[in-house]
C-alpha cells in the first residue's frame, strides 16, 4: 500500500505540471496581457513599455518557469484588473466554493445511493421507474434553467429562501440542490447497475445461504461491493461540482472562485485565470488520487495489481 500511494502521488504531481504548462501557454497565446493591462487607449509605445515592465517580451518558457517558481511558493502574482494579490483574492473565496461543492456532492450521494439501491432491489418495478424518471429529469434539465425555476418558486413566489449572497446557511440551499441534482443521475444509475450485478453474484447467494439477515446481505455484502465504482465516479463529479460551480455561483451571486473565474475570464485577467485553473486541476488530481486510495481500501484486490 505505501508503494502504491507513492506511485500514484508521483503521477498526480506530473499531471499538475503538465496542466499548468498547458494553461499558461494557451492563455498567453489567446490573449495579449499587455493589451489588457494597457486598456483600449494605450499607444503602441505604452504597450511596449508594459511588455518590458512585466517581462512579456521574454520567451514563453522562461515566463512559465518564472511563474511556476513563484507559484510553488504560493505567489500567484497580482490581478491585472483589481491590483490585488491573486493569492488573497482566491483564498478569500475558495472556502465558499469548497462548501458548495461538498454540500452538492453529499446531496447527490444521499439521494442517489438509496434511490439506486431501491431501484436495484426490484428492477422494472414502479420504484425503479420513478427513480429512473427522477434521474432522467436531472440529466435533461439544464442546470441554469433548473436554478432559475427554483429561484422563481422558492425565492419569489413563496419567499422561503434567499436568492443571492453567501452570508447565511440558507443561501446555500438552492445552489446545493441545483448543483447536486446534476450529479445525481450518473451516480444513481451506477449504483443501480452495480447493485443489480452484485445481487446476482455467487457471494450474495452464499450470504443468503448463511442465513444472514436481509439488511446484512444488502448493506454489508452487496452495497460495499457495488459502491466501489460509485466512489470513483463521485470523486470525479466532486471535481466537476467545484469546477462546474461557475454557472451556479454566477446565478446565485455566490462569490466563490467559480464566480471569480467567470469575472476574470471576462476581463482577460490572466494571473487569476491561471491560478484558478491550477486550483481546479489540483482538485481533480487530488480527488482522483483519494478515490483510488479509497478504492484500494474498499477493494483489497486493487493495490495488489
Partner 1 sequence: MSGTILEVENLSVDIPVAAGMLHPVRGIGFSVSRGETLCIVGESGCGKSLTSLAIMGLLPKTARRNADRIEFLGRDIRNLREREMARLRGGSMSMIFQEPMTSLNPSYTIGNQLAEVYLRHVEQSRAAARDRAVFLLEKVGISSAASRLGQYPHQLSGGQRQRVMIAMALMCGPELIIADEPTTALDVTIQAQILHLLAELQREFRMGMILITHDLGIVARVADKVQVMYAGKTVEEGPCETVFDAPMHPYTQGLLRCIPIPGRTRRGERLGSVPGIVPNLVGELSGCLFRNRCDHARDACAGMRDDEPTRMGDGHAYTCLRAPGEISGELQAAEAP
Q: Which residues make up the interface to partner 1 (CB under 8 A)?
A: 201-203, 205-214, 216, 220-221, 224-225, 298-301, 304
For residue 85, the SS3 value is strand
* Residues 272, 278, 283, 284, Cα dihedral to 10°: 130
H-state helical runs in the chain = 2-30, 33-38, 44-54, 60-72, 86-121, 126-140, 143-150, 173-199, 202-209, 214-215, 224-243, 245-251, 257-266, 270-298
Report the candidate in 295, 278, 302 with the shortest Cα–Cα distance to residue 232: 295
Q: Phi-psi bin for 162: left (phi > 0), alpha (psi -120 to 50), beta? A: beta
Grid cell in block for residue 55 = 517581462
Q: Which is nearer to partner 1, 106 or 204 (CB)?
A: 204
Overall size of the chain counted in residues? 305
Angle (nearest 5°) at CA 176 between 175 and 181 = 105
Q: What is the smallest separation between the CB atom of 304 and partner 1, expressed in angstroms?
A: 7
Q: Which is nearer to partner 1, 104 or 217 (CB)?
A: 217
- Cα distance between residue 290 and residue 113, in whole Å: 20
CB 71 within 8 A of CB 64: no
Q: What is the smallest separation between the CB atom of 207 and partner 1, expressed in angstroms?
A: 7
Residue for cell digits 446531496?
Answer: 107
Q: Which is nearer to partner 1, 39 or 211 (CB)?
A: 211
Q: What is the smallest separation between the CB atom of 120 and partner 1, expressed in angstroms?
A: 13
Q: Which is nearer to partner 1, 286 or 298 (CB)?
A: 298
Q: What is the smallest separation between the CB atom of 183 and partner 1, expressed in angstroms?
A: 25
Q: What is the smallest separation between the CB atom of 163 and partner 1, expressed in angstroms?
A: 45
CB 303 within 8 A of CB 5: no
Q: What is the smallest separation between the CB atom of 189 and partner 1, expressed in angstroms?
A: 22
Residue for cell digits 444472514?
Answer: 212
Q: Which is nearer to partner 1, 159 or 301 (CB)?
A: 301
Q: Which is nearer to partner 1, 79 or 225 (CB)?
A: 225
Q: What is the smallest separation between the CB atom of 190 and partner 1, expressed in angstroms?
A: 17
Q: Which is nearer to partner 1, 84 or 206 (CB)?
A: 206
Amino acid at each position: 500500500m505505501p508503494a502504491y500511494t507513492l506511485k500514484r502521488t508521483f503521477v498526480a504531481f506530473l499531471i499538475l505540471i503538465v496542466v499548468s504548462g498547458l494553461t499558461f501557454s494557451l492563455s498567453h497565446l489567446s490573449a495579449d496581457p499587455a493589451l489588457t493591462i494597457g486598456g483600449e487607449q494605450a499607444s503602441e509605445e505604452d504597450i511596449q513599455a508594459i511588455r518590458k515592465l512585466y517581462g512579456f517580451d521574454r520567451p514563453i518558457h522562461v515566463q512559465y518557469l518564472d511563474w511556476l517558481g513563484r507559484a510553488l511558493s504560493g505567489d500567484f502574482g497580482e490581478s491585472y484588473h483589481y491590483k490585488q494579490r491573486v493569492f488573497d483574492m482566491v483564498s478569500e473565496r475558495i472556502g465558499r466554493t469548497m462548501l458548495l461543492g461538498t454540500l452538492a456532492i453529499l446531496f447527490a450521494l444521499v439521494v442517489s445511493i438509496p434511490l439506486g439501491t431501491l431501484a436495484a432491489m426490484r428492477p422494472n418495478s414502479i420504484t425503479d421507474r420513478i427513480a429512473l424518471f427522477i434521474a432522467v429529469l436531472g440529466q435533461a434539465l439544464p442546470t441554469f434553467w433548473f436554478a432559475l425555476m427554483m429561484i422563481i418558486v422558492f425565492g419569489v413566489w413563496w419567499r422561503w429562501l434567499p436568492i443571492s449572497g453567501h452570508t447565511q446557511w440558507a443561501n446555500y440551499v438552492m445552489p446545493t440542490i441545483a448543483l447536486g441534482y446534476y450529479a445525481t443521475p450518473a451516480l444513481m444509475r451506477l449504483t443501480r447497475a452495480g447493485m443489480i450485478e452484485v445481487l446476482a453474484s455467487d457471494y450474495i447467494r452464499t450470504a443468503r445461504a448463511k442465513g444472514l439477515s436481509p439488511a446484512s446481505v444488502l448493506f454489508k455484502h452487496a452495497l460495499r461491493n457495488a459502491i466501489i465504482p460509485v466512489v470513483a465516479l463521485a470523486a470525479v463529479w466532486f471535481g466537476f461540482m467545484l469546477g462546474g460551480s461557475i454557472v451556479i455561483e454566477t446565478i446565485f451571486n455566490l462569490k466563490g472562485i467559480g464566480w471569480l473565474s467567470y469575472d476574470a475570464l471576462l476581463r482577460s485577467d490572466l494571473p487569476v485565470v491561471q491560478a484558478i485553473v491550477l486550483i481546479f486541476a489540483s482538485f481533480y488530481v487530488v480527488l482522483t488520487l483519494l478515490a483510488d486510495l479509497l478504492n484500494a481500501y474498499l477493494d483489497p484486490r486493487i493495490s495488489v495489481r
